[in-house]
Amino acid sequence: MELEKLEEIEEIINRAKWFASIPDGLLSDFGVVAYKEHKVKVDMLIRAWEAAKEEHD
């Protein structure tokens, strides 16, 4: 994969990590159910990325 694409993916993962770090109560306007479902997907994305990085290294 091109270095530029990997850097783009890493930036998305960094944003996802930031989103995952927000306390549950802080985004109440987002909708509790939608927020929790999204947070689960974000956590899965982060774990998949970190596993892929470990395999590559």
pLDDT tens digits for range 6-17? 788 888 888 878
Which pair of tokens denotes residue 23? 């306390």
> How is the chain split into domains, by residue range?
3-56
| The pLDDT of residue 31 | 62
Categorize the per-residue pLDDT at 29 as very low, low, confident or very high, splitting at 50, 70 and 90.
Answer: low
Categorize the per-residue pLDDT at 32 as very low, low, confident or very high, splitting at 50, 70 and 90.
Answer: low
User: What is the DSSP secondary-structure string of 1-57?
Assistant: --HHHHHHHHHHHHHHHHHHTS-GGGGGGG-HHHHHHHHHHHHHHHHHHHHHHHHH-
